[in-house]
A and B are shown apart, each in its own frame.
Chain A
Amino acid sequence: MAQINSEIAFTYINTNKKLTAVAALGILLGMAIYIFMNSMMAGFGKMSDESIFKVSPQIRIYNDQEISQPIAHDTDKLPILINPKIRNTHNKILNPNQLIALLKNQEKVKIVTPQVTQNVFLSMGMSQLSVKALGIIPDEAEKMFNISQTMVAGKIEDLKHNLNGIVIGSGISEKLSLRVGDNINILSSKSVNKTFKVIGIFQLNNKREDDSKSYINLMAAQQLLKENNSYITDLNVNTIDPYKARDIAPKLSNLLAYKAEDWETANETLMAASKMRKIIITFVSTTILIIAGFGIYNILNMTVSQKINDIAILKAMGFEGKDVVKIFVTQAMVIGFIGVVLGVLVALFMVNILKKVYIGGDIGYFPIQFEPLKFAQGIIFGLAITFLAGYIPAKKAAKVDPVTIFRK
Chain B
Amino acid sequence: MEVALKTENIEKYFYDPVKFQVLHNLGFEVKKGEFLTLVGKSGCGKSTLLYILSTMDTGYSGNLYIDNELVSNYSLDRLAKIRNEKIGFVFQFHYLLQEFSCLKNVMIPALKLGNKSKEEIEHLAYEKLSVLGMAEQALKPASKLSGGQQQRVAIARALINDPLIIMGDEPTGNLDSKNTNIVFDIFQELAHNNKQTIIAVTHDNDFARNSDRTIEMQDGKIIN
Q: Do A and B come from one complex?
A: yes
A-to-B contact residues, CB < 8 Å: 1, 3-4, 7-8, 11-12, 15, 309-310, 312-323, 402-403, 406-407
Report whether B97 and A313 are in contact in the complex, using a CB–CB cutoff of 8 Å: yes
Pair A317/B77 contact, Cβ less than 8 Å: no
Q: Which residues of B contact A4 (CB under 8 A)?
A: 108, 111-112
Q: How far is the CA of A322 from the CA of B54 in the complex (A)?
A: 20
Known: A313-B97, A407-B47. Is A319-B89 also a contact (CB below 8 A)?
no
Interface residue from B85, B99, B108 paired with A12 (Cβ < 8 Å): B99
**A3 partner residues in chain B, CB cutoff 8 A:** 111
- Bound Cα distance A340, B112 (Å): 31
For residue A11, which residues in chain B have a CB less than 8 angstroms away from its CB? 99-100
Most chain A CB within a 10 A radius of its CB, from B80, B96, B100, B109: B80
Complex: chain B residue closest to A398, CB-CB: B76
Assuming the contacts A316-B83, A316-B89, A406-B169, asked whether A321 and B76 have C-beta atoms less than 8 A apart, the reply is yes
With a CB–CB cut-off of 8 A, which chain A residues contact B108? 4, 8, 314, 317
Contact A406 B51 (CB under 8 A): yes
Smallest distance from the beta carbon of A204 to chain B beta carbons, Å? 67
Contacting residues, chain A, for B99 (C-beta < 8 A): 11-12, 15
Q: Which of B94-118 contact A (CB under 8 A)?
A: 95-100, 108-109, 111-114
Give the docked Cα–Cα distance between A319 and B177 (Å): 33
Q: Are B112's CB and A318's CB within 8 A? A: yes
Q: List 9 A-B contacts (CB under 8 A).
A: A7-B111, A316-B54, A316-B83, A317-B89, A318-B80, A319-B80, A402-B56, A403-B57, A407-B51
B187 on the A face (CB < 8 A): no
Contacts of B157 in A (CB 8 A): 317
List the B side residues contacting A403 at CB < 8 Å.
51, 56-57
Q: Which residues of B contact A319 (CB under 8 A)?
A: 80, 84, 112
Shortest distance between the CB of A87 and any CB in chain B (Å): 80
Main SS at interface, chain B: helix
| Cα A317 to Cα B105 with chains together (Å) | 11
- A317 to B112 CA separation, bound complex (whole angstroms): 9
> Lowest 8 A-B CB distances belong to which pairs?
A318-B84, A4-B111, A1-B114, A318-B83, A320-B80, A15-B99, A317-B109, A320-B77
Chain B residues whose CB sits within 8 angstroms of the CB of A316 once the complex forms = 54, 56, 83, 89
Does B123 count as interface, using CB distance less than 8 angstroms?
no
Distance between Cα atoms of A315 and B157 in the complex (Å): 14
- B35 close to A (CB within 8 Å): no
Complex Cα–Cα for A15 and B109 (A): 21
Determine whether B140 belongs to the interface, using a CB cutoff of 8 Å to chain A: no
The contact of A322 among B77, B83, B114, by CB within 8 Å, is B77
The answer for the CA separation of A8 and B82 in the assembled complex, in Å, is: 21
CB-nearest residue of chain A relative to B107?
A4
Complex Cα distance A323/B81, Å?
12
Contacts of A15 in B (CB 8 A): 99
Q: Known contacts A4-B112, A313-B95; decide if A320 and B76 are in contact (CB<8 Å).
A: yes
Q: Which residues of A contact B57 (CB under 8 A)?
A: 403
Residues of A within 8 A of B126 (CB): none
Complex alpha-carbon distance, A319 and B109, angstroms: 8
* Cα–Cα distance between A59 and B67 once the two chains are bound (Å): 82
Contact with A along B72-91 (1 / 0, CB 8 A): 00001100111111000101
A105-B171 Cα distance, complex, nearest whole Å: 91
**Chain B CB within 10 Å — which of A1, A3, A318, A402 has the most?**
A318
| Residues of chain A lying within 8 A (CB to CB) of residue B114 | 1
How far apart sit A7 and B101, CA to CA, in the bound complex (Å)? 13
B173 → A minimal CB distance (Å): 12
Of A7, A312, A323, A406, most buried by chain B (CB within 10 Å of CB) is A406
- Within the assembled complex, what's the spacing in Å between the Cα atoms of A164 and B27? 116
Interface centre among B83, B109, B112, B169, by most chain A C-beta atoms within 10 angstroms, is B112
Which of A8, A12, A403 has the most C-beta atoms of chain B within 10 angstroms of its own C-beta?
A403
